């Protein structure tokens, strides 16, 4: 029925190799089917695309610049270009997906939007888009996160969203996600669930990647204009659930001459219990409706992850990345809290750009891996660091910087 072109290495059931799929309770089956049909129908629709493109340009501020970081390049003796997602409205890449998803919700006649959020970045992006489109917005957030991410909670409230503090489990992202899924089960007909990363049951990982693919679509034009090369040698991105990396990799996945580098959060180290590196430390399992790499104990119980960066503090990873890792198409690194903090200070002092702590993990690849003087290395700067100032200052005092 659909003229939909996948682009990603995914089949009609949502499998990337042996990862992905849709492991959902029966009650959500119709919801997910309807979503899949709507997404495949609208994603390539000219009017839908025109509306998406118009908001990307005039509301988000796209295309985001590809910036040649000269002093950083000199420091690392290679050619570093930063894809400036930090300059987007609301300060990160998450708005790209929130807008695409909300436009789809409107096409499906849904008036009530729900979302889960950890640090609050996805919650803020969703609340922003709901204000823009006049939709009801309910954001589920762990009670622990509500307490430690106060500015984002206030932002969501000002934007008109209802923030529900979830008090079950560890009171963090995983519990907020469970609660959002429960809400969706109870309100299947009028509610659209906007997931903030390339996770969840099919078609979410593919859908979120498609909305984020605007990042690499722009790079395809920008790299030849700026570097004199047709394609970058490397594209580097941090991985929480994997949406900014999926967007940055998207149009390069079938171009083997472009090396893809994903950076997980190692926390205190991949050989400690305090880590969020689900590909380095996890095993195959099912989380939030998808078969992927999950941090789990011998009984298959999910292990609480740890990272200094709230946006990477997730015990799973999107199935696309588990697949790219398993086939060797992407190289997966893990950066510790310390490596990310050092990389963040380096960018700040050499280029005058304060990155999000998440993005700082991608920058840490420059310390972990050696690049050649002739390489063109594009680092996806997924967000800005305003939200992380308190953490940065704490580190500053501790290390005397
Ligand atoms: C949420 C977030 C991430 C992690 O999410 P992905 O889906 O892996 O991209 C990374 N960077 C920033 C700035 C974020 O807000």
Sheet strands (E) in 5-102: 15-16, 19-20, 66-68, 79-84
Catalytic, 83? Answer no
Find the 104 Cα to ligand 1 centroid distance in Å.
22
Taking only Cα atoms into account, the Rg of the chain, rounded to an integer number of angstroms, comes to: 19
What is the mean predicted confidence (pLDDT) over 185-193?
A: 93
Catalytic residue among 83, 94, 174, 387: 94
pLDDT at 302 over 80: yes
Q: Convert the pLDDT of each residue in 223-240 to its tens digit.
A: 999 999 999 999 999 999
More confident residue, 173 or 216: 216
Secondary structure of 220-281 as H, E, C letters: HHHHHHHHCCCCCCEEEEECCCCHHHHHHHHHHCCCCCCEEEEEEEEECCCCCCCCCCHHHH
Q: What is the pLDDT of residue 340?
A: 98
Rounded-to-integer distance, Cα 35 and Cα 213, Å: 19
State if residue 318 touches ligand 1 by the CB under 6 angstroms criterion. Answer: no
Whether 96 is in the pocket of ligand 1, judged by its Cβ within 6 Å, is: no
* 333 phi and psi angles, rounded to 5 deg: -110, 165
- Whether 175 and 166 have beta carbons less than 8 Å apart is answered as yes
User: Is pLDDT at 396 greater than 80 in this prediction?
Assistant: no
In this predicted structure, what is the pLDDT of residue 208?
98
Distance 120 CA to ligand 1 centre (A): 11
CA of 80 to the centre of ligand 1 (A): 21
> Which of 22-31, 80-89, 203-212 has the least mean pLDDT?
22-31
**Which own/partner contact pairs does 392-398 have at CB distance under 8 Å and 24+ positions apart?**
392/341, 392/344, 392/345, 392/354, 392/357, 395/341, 396/345
State percent of the chain over pLDDT 70.
99
For residue range 154-165, what is the model confidence (pLDDT) as tens digits?
Answer: 999 999 999 999
Task: Specify the ligand 1 atom closest to the Cα of 212.
Answer: 9
**Does residue 382 have a pLDDT over 60?**
yes
Per-residue pLDDT at 400: 65
Question: Shortest CA distance to 83 belongs to which of 210, 188, 234, 278?
Answer: 234
Residue 78 has pLDDT above 80, yes or no: yes
Q: Are 366 and 237 in contact (CB under 8 A)?
A: no
Query: 352: number of CA atoms within 13 Å, CB side?
Result: 2
Residue 1's pLDDT band (cuts 50, 70, 90) = very low
Dihedral of CA atoms 346, 84, 384, 195 in degrees, nearest 10, equals -130
Q: pLDDT-derived band of residue 397, with 50, 70 and 90 as boundaries?
A: confident
pLDDT digit string, tens, across residues 233-277? 999 999 999 999 999 999 999 999 999 999 999 999 999 999 999
Q: Given a cut of 70, is residue 3 above it in pLDDT?
A: no
Q: Which atom of ligand 1 is nearest to the CA of 85?
A: 13
Q: Is 385 in the pocket of ligand 1 (CB under 6 A)?
A: no
Give me the pLDDT at residue 172, please: 86
92 C-alpha to ligand 1 centroid (Å): 8
Active-site annotation holds for 382: yes
Can you give the pLDDT at residue 5? Answer: 87
Exposed/middle/buried for residue 50 (C-beta within 10 Å: 0-12, 13-18, 19+): exposed
Confidence of residue 131 (pLDDT cuts 50, 70, 90): very high
Provide the pLDDT confidence category of residue 86 given band limits of 50, 70 and 90: very high
The whole-number pLDDT of residue 196 equals: 97
In the prediction, which pLDDT does 19 show?
Answer: 98
Q: What is the per-residue pLDDT across 33-44, written as a single tens digit (0 to 9) for each? A: 999 999 999 999
Q: Is the CB of 94 under 6 A from ligand 1?
A: yes
Task: Give the residue from 104, 97, 92 showing the smallest Cα distance to 198.
Answer: 97
Mean pLDDT for the stretch of residues 359-383: 98
Residue 324 pLDDT: 98
Cα 2 to ligand 1 centroid, rounded to whole Å: 31
pLDDT of residue 395: 86
Q: What is the mean pLDDT of residues 6-14?
A: 94
CA distance 125 to 120: 9
């Amino acid at each position: 029925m659909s003229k939909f072109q996948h682009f990603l290495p995914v089949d009609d059931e949502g499998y990337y190799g042996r990862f992905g799929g849709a492991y959902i309770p029966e009650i959500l089956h119709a919801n997910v089917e309807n979503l899949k049909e709507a997404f495949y129908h609208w994603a390539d629709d000219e009017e839908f695309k025109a509306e998406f493109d118009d908001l990307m340009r005039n509301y988000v501020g796209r295309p985001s610049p590809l910036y040649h970081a000269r002093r950083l390049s000199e420091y690392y003796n290679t050619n570093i270009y930063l894809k400036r997602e930090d300059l987007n409205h609301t300060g990160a890449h998450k708005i790209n997906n929130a807008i695409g998803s909300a436009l789809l919700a409107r096409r499906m006649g849904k008036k009530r939007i729900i979302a889960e959020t950890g640090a609050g970045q996805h919650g803020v992006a969703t609340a922003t888009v709901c204000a823009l489109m006049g939709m009801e917005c309910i954001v589920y957030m762990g009670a622990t996160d509500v307490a430690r991410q106060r500015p984002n909670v206030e932002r969501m409230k000002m934007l008109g969203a209802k923030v529900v503090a979830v008090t079950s489990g560890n009171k963090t992202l995983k519990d907020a996600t469970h609660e959002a899924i429960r809400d969706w089960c109870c309100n299947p007909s009028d509610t659209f669930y906007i997931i903030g990363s390339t996770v969840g049951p099919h078609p979410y990982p593919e859908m979120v990647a498609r909305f984020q693919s605007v990042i690499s679509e722009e790079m395809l034009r920008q790299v030849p204009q700026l570097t004199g090369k047709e394609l970058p040698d490397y594209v580097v991105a941090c991985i929480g659930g994997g949406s900014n990396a999926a967007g940055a990799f998207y149009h390069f996945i079938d171009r083997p001459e472009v090396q893809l580098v994903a950076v997980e959060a190692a926390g205190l180290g991949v050989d400690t219990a305090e880590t969020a590196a689900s590909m380095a430390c996890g095993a195959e399992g099912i989380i939030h409706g998808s078969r992927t790499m999950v941090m789990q104990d011998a009984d298959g119980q999910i292990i609480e992850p740890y990272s200094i960066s709230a946006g990477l503090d997730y015990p799973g990873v999107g199935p696309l990345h588990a697949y790219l890792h398993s086939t060797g198409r992407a190289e997966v690194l893990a950066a510790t809290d310390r490596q990310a903090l050092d990389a963040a200070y380096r960018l700040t002092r050499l280029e005058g750009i304060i990155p999000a702590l998440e993005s700082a993990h991608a920058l840490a690849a420059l310390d972990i891996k050696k690049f050649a003087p002739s390489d063109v290395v594009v680092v996806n700067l997924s967000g800005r660091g305003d939200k992380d100032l308190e953490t940065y200052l704490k580190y500053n005092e501790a290390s005397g910087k």
